[in-house]
Amino acid sequence: MRVMFITPAASKTNVRWMPLGVCSLAGALFAAGHEVLLFDRFRISFDHDQDEIDRQLKASISAFRPDMIGFSTCSQLIHHSIHDVRVVRSVTDAFVVLGGHHATALPELTLQRIPEADAVIAGEGEESICLLADKHCKNDIPGLYWRERHEQDTTKKTEGLASLDRPDLSSRIFKSPVSRKPVDLQKLPAPAYHLLDMAFYTKRNISTIRPFYLRVGTVIATRGCTSHCSFCTESLTFTGGLRHHKVDDVIKTIRLLIETYHCDGITFLDNSFLADPDYARTVLQSIISSGLNHKALFCIQSRVDQITEDLARLLKQANFLKIEFGLESADPDVLLKTRKNASIQQAEKALQLCRRHGISTQVNLIMGFEGDTIDKLDKTLSWIKRLPIDNVSWGQLFLSPGSLLYRQKAQAYLEKNDWSKTNIEYFFSRDHLSDFLPDELKSWRALKLNRYLKALHRRSVLRRNPLPRAMHYFWTRLLLKGKNRWQNMQNAKHLRRS
């Protein structure tokens, strides 16, 4: 079977994390003997507008003639996926299946709101997508929801299934009785990196492993999480606790990225690389024994309560010189609402430990929890300034469907409203819970946060990169700003003439 995947669009960014979920699905399909093509909408959107992307998508479908088309869905971008599904339907009758976080959180509703789609795979999809491509009975495919389009045929085609009746009589939605189950990562084939535009994804940049100016490849060694934070949906998609890829497979992937794609930076996208310290030690020791620690700089994410003295020493030896810590807030009351079960004292200890071992740190924070105020943001900013931190990521709280906070506070917004661009952007840009006034928060960002972040960024780039590389980054950035300014001037002239 010919299978085509389409990635969701995103705003332009210098962070170039490879879509490893789709690559893993493609790897499983290749191993099962199927043909696979990736239409990377994220990549293409860097160079082309919507009309050109649509034209290229139609051309790719006409040339490849897929039997099945898979979409990876994200709640903040679901309106883009709806648009793409409709474009697909204008040129092909291929079977359309949706996966990813959004479809997993709202599987039945996703099929109702996107009538052009045929099915949803909830959760991890490697086994299910292969069974679907092999034309197994839908009744036997874990996590599958699908549409039968002709009411008169549903009894014959789906005998024995539990029907989920809907008012739309032109189709009915059915759910496989086979429960979702965690994928055995030990048996998965390698991700299909070759489907990606690796020159694009590995282009030297400062943002993928901030503040290091590197050609970065991305790797996943584990899936799942042992925590259940109130804002997070990791455990929704990746059930079954923490699971591991074979260490040998992880090493092979790192070697591929370094030797074939010339990466000098590797970042692990694991939710928390140190969650299983024994497994982490085995990976680190294998990187050291293979000599890969002399060929690339490594980055991980971790909880503040998982790093220890011996792990820090081993991380430094393996050239893991960057750790991102998810803390979310430095206010004890707000921190309790995250259900993170971590303390400010643990965070300070972890940051000081990394500083002693020469490991760069980044603190990831979220603003907008219930009870958040400008005064609390000021206190958190003051806390950051006195600690050895190289980078700070401080974003807005999202109420993601499937999370505890969405169930408690979102008032079923996505269930009650259509998924138009206007509604989706309104919901995910809105401050739902805090006590901020809109103008107050905007002013605080401009006058306090952004000024601090810009100064911190410049210092960190100079501190963490060889001087020639740092200067190359600043010069490239200056040229890009000049190019954008010139382009804006030309656009303004064109508008005046017209």
pLDDT tens readout for residues 299-330: 999 999 999 999 999 999 999 999 999 999 88
355 and 208 inside one domain = yes
166 and 275 inside one domain = no
Overall number of domains in the chain: 3
Whether 307 is covered by a domain: the verdict is yes
Q: Is the dihedral of CA 488, 490, 492, 495 positive or negative?
A: negative
Whether 196 is covered by a domain: the verdict is no
147 and 245 inside one domain = no
pLDDT band of residue 239 (cuts 50, 70, 90) is confident
Contact 456, 201 (CB under 8 A): no
pLDDT, position 16: 81
Bridge partners of residue 120, in order along the sequence: 98, 145
Higher pLDDT, 276 or 336: 276
pLDDT, position 12: 57
Give percent above pLDDT 90 in the chain. 76
Whether 39 is covered by a domain: the verdict is yes
396 and 423 inside one domain = yes
124-128 CB contacts, 8 Å cutoff, 24+ apart? 124/180, 124/182, 124/183, 124/223, 124/237, 124/238, 124/239, 125/25, 125/99, 126/24, 126/25, 126/28, 126/183, 126/188, 127/28, 127/183
- DSSP strand pairing (216-219 vs 265-268): parallel
Whether 190 is covered by a domain: the verdict is no
CA distance 253 to 191: 9
Whether 169 is covered by a domain: the verdict is yes
Biggest alpha carbon–alpha carbon distance for the chain: 71
Q: Of 267, 258, 357, which Cα lies nearest the Cα of 307?
A: 357
pLDDT band of residue 11 (cuts 50, 70, 90) is low
pLDDT, position 157: 33
Per the structure, the complete domain to which residue 496 belongs is given by 466-498
What DSSP element (H or E) covers 116?
Answer: none
* Cα dihedral 351→357→360→363 (10° resolution): -10
pLDDT, position 15: 73
Whether 191 is covered by a domain: the verdict is no
229 and 158 inside one domain = no
151 and 208 inside one domain = no
Whether 259 is covered by a domain: the verdict is yes
322 and 263 inside one domain = yes
Which of 6-19 are b and which e, b meaning 16 or more Cβ less than 10 Å from the residue's Cβ? bbbbeeeeeebebb
pLDDT band of residue 483 (cuts 50, 70, 90) is confident
218 and 126 inside one domain = no
pLDDT tens figures, 83-117? 999 999 999 999 999 999 999 999 999 999 999 99
Q: Tell me the pTM.
A: 0.90
CATH assignment of the domain containing 148: 3.40.50.280
242 and 331 inside one domain = yes
Residue ending a domain, choose from 175, 190, 217: 175
pLDDT, position 159: 32
Whether 184 is covered by a domain: the verdict is no
338 and 473 inside one domain = no
pLDDT tens figures, 404-427? 999 999 999 999 999 999 999 999
455 and 490 inside one domain = no
What is the arithmetic mean of pLDDT over 252-279?
97
316 and 230 inside one domain = yes
Q: ∠ at Cα 37 (258, 85), nearest 5°? A: 125
